[in-house]
Amino acid sequence: MKKNFLPIVILTIVISLIACKSSSSSGSFEADVRKMAGYRCKMQTLMAKDPTDEKAKKELEDLKKETEAYREEMTKKYESTKGDTAMNNKANKIMDEVMSKCK
């Protein structure tokens, strides 16, 4: 069940950011998407560690809380610009770029 939970959380986070657009500037939006992609990459790395590693489990739980708080902050920040196709495409491109470098 735990294996199914994290992909759902990640998908929710990605969709939330993808559906958003910066009202102030595209640089800010790009930085926000890159930060979320960084969280996603770190989560992926922690999930690849040995499931019995207690330190990794603790880090993963802490990261989940931090990621959720950031997702909520970004949802509020970009609430007024949801549904912008150009921003969705840009967010997808940024996310793909960052995740392709994730190890």
**CA 94 – CA 51 distance, rounded (Å):** 30
Place 22 in a pLDDT band, splitting at 50, 70 and 90. very low
Phi, psi torsion values for 53, nearest 5 degrees: -75, 105
What's the rounded mean pLDDT across residues 68-84?
Answer: 85
Residue 48: predicted pLDDT: 87
Residue 100: predicted pLDDT: 92
Q: Is residue 103 part of a domain?
A: yes
- What's the total number of domains in the chain? 1
SS3 84: coil
Q: Is residue 8 part of a domain?
A: no
**CA 10 – CA 6 distance, rounded (Å):** 6
Place 103 in a pLDDT band, splitting at 50, 70 and 90. confident
What's the rounded mean pLDDT across residues 16-30?
Answer: 59
Q: What residues make up the domain containing 73?
A: 50-103
Place 66 in a pLDDT band, splitting at 50, 70 and 90. very high
Q: Is residue 60 part of a domain?
A: yes
Q: Is residue 26 part of a domain?
A: no
